[in-house]
Amino acid sequence: MSRLLGRARSSFYHGKNSIRLKTKDGAETTLADLCKSTLPPCRLSPFLFNGHLQTMWTVVKTEAVPIYYKRKVFEQEDPVYPGSFAVDFVTKPYNGSDAKLPPRTSHYTDSEFANIGSDDSKPMLVALHGLSGGSYELYLRVVLAPLVTEEGGFEACVVNSRGCANSEITTPVLFNARATWDIRQTVKWLRKTFPNRPLYGVGFSLGANILTNYLGEEGASCELKAAVALSCPWSLDVSNLALQRTWIGLNVYARAMGTNLKKLYEKHKDSILRISAIDPAEVEKVRFLHEFDRAIQCPTWGYPTEQAYYRDASSTDSILAIRIPFLAISAEDDPIVASEAIPRQEFLQTPYGVLCTTSLGGHLSWFELRKGGRWVARATTAFFQKVAREVDFEHYSRNHPLPEGLIRREEREPLRPWFDPMRRKMHLPET
């Protein structure tokens, strides 16, 4: 009955010793209690009563969310990942846009960008979009919109994956599910350019996987104050096999994602095919997501199979290395991310993370009946405004007690076994 009424069940997973946060009024709370008290009840449209309907509604749902961007193209400074990438900064509305870019987007002029720096202390959100998407995606704009208003108080920017959102690929180095190098450089640049701004992160779908991996790689040195992952695929190998298990999973979702990636390839194939290991004839046969990854990602990054790539790029283990307040929101009926891929046990082991699962919601959807809005936008806004306005990060410690399995190697007794959540199988060139 609750499903027919659109009443989603919300469940929370977190460690018993959830980190304690001091508030600016001198009080104290835990991350778990903050999330539970801040996220609104999940009441969705009764007409979209399962994950397929919720997800497919994103294709037909249109909404006026006129966010304007100015783009800056950066050159990657790390020689291991050469090439350019585009970052779109949310700006005030303006007249005119670049016809070669997505709607309401234009390039910064040299003089505009030279004066972008500021000493203000406005909170700033760094966003990562989903697979083959970009800053123009509606699911992303509805989350940014309430935060970047004058009342919301946030500034924001979107790191576009290489080749996405009408950006160019200038070298054969592509994005993948663990492509953390561009957000890393962006965050370092933001910290230098806006020295007083507290930085926050939000990731959508594949962008959530990249963000989670980035947070794990940075650990206690992370420049972000807090982050949110929405509809993260987590265990890519598990979700991939689940997609192929059903007709609709393979022929609707996996085919749609494969088609979008193949369009991206067609647009940039002159650059991509400079990798001699890629066989153009095999790419032409691609229909589904896993076939694209087999034909493109495997030879690009040296993986023998797409499943090896998925296992190595998954973000489940990265959760255990995160050392900032981290909220993840996933729907149990997500048709793209299998419920069995959601890492409930991992969140029970870390004091730094809280996982909220909803029984309804689909993939990046969570459509409500009221005004046709999305619950996830209200939930994300509530969380970020709560931590930005009330949490005292000046007196926040990243050295909270950890479960035995997460204690770092150098802190253990000699000859004791230990688990390294960030150990990868793909070895990158040393520079």
Of 14, 161, 363, 365, which residue is the catalytic one? 363
Cα 161 to Cα 184: distance, rounded to the nearest angstrom: 13
Cα 35 to Cα 327: distance, rounded to the nearest angstrom: 8
pLDDT bucket at 423, cuts 50 / 70 / 90: confident
* Segment holding 183, helix H or strand E: helix 181-193
Read off the DSSP letter of residue 406: G
SS3 track for 296-356 = HHHHHHCCCCHHHHHHHHCCCHHHHHCCCCEEEEEECCCCCCCHHHCCHHHHHHCCCEEEE
pLDDT bucket at 419, cuts 50 / 70 / 90: confident
CATH code matching the domain that covers 10-235+315-399, chosen among 3.40.30.10, 1.20.120.450, 2.30.42.10, 3.40.50.1820: 3.40.50.1820
Residue 245: partners with Cβ closer than 8 Å, 6 or more residues away: none
pLDDT at 397: 77
Cα 410 to Cα 414: distance, rounded to the nearest angstrom: 9
- 107 in catalytic set: no
- 334 in catalytic set: yes
Cα 183 to Cα 193: distance, rounded to the nearest angstrom: 15
Residue 174: partners with Cβ closer than 8 Å, 6 or more residues away: 162, 163, 272, 296, 297, 300
Cα 366 to Cα 57: distance, rounded to the nearest angstrom: 10
Cα 335 to Cα 59: distance, rounded to the nearest angstrom: 15
Q: What one-character-per-residue DSSP string does 69-136 give?
A: EEEEEEEP--TTS-SEEEEEEEE---S---TTSSTTEEEPPHHHHHT--------EEEEE--TT--TT
Closest CA to 72 of 240, 197, 186: 186
- Which segments of the chain belong to CATH 3.40.50.1820? 10-235+315-399
pLDDT at 407: 65
Neighbours of 40 (CB within 10 A): 12
pLDDT at 174: 82
pLDDT bucket at 60, cuts 50 / 70 / 90: confident
- 312 in catalytic set: no
Helix and strand tally (H, E) in the chain? Answer: 15, 12
- Strands 124-128, 199-204: pairing kind: parallel
- pLDDT tens per residue across span 151-189: 999 999 999 999 999 999 999 888 899 999 999 999 999
Mean pLDDT along residues 9-13: 97
Residue 347: partners with Cβ closer than 8 Å, 6 or more residues away: 13, 14, 15, 319, 328, 353, 354, 355
Residue 82: partners with Cβ closer than 8 Å, 6 or more residues away: 76, 171, 173
The separation between the first and the last C-alpha atoms of the chain, rounded to the nearest angstrom, is 59
* Segment holding 165, helix H or strand E: none
Cα 98 to Cα 87: distance, rounded to the nearest angstrom: 15
Distances (CA, A) of 155 to 92, 124, 176, 382, 405: 10, 5, 27, 16, 38
Cα 42 to Cα 62: distance, rounded to the nearest angstrom: 22
Of 231, 334, 359, 365, which residue is the catalytic one? 334
Q: For residue 23, what are its two tokens?
A: 């508030």
Mean pLDDT along residues 12-25: 94
Of 106, 205, 239, 359, which residue is the catalytic one? 205
Residue 1 has pLDDT above 50, yes or no: no
Cα 409 to Cα 418: distance, rounded to the nearest angstrom: 6
- Find out whether 395 and 339 touch, Cβ atoms under 8 Å: no
pLDDT bucket at 431, cuts 50 / 70 / 90: low
Residue 62 has pLDDT above 90, yes or no: no
- Find out whether 390 and 123 touch, Cβ atoms under 8 Å: no
pLDDT at 413: 65
- pLDDT tens per residue across span 97-130: 899 999 999 999 999 999 999 999 999 999 999 9
pLDDT bucket at 301, cuts 50 / 70 / 90: very high
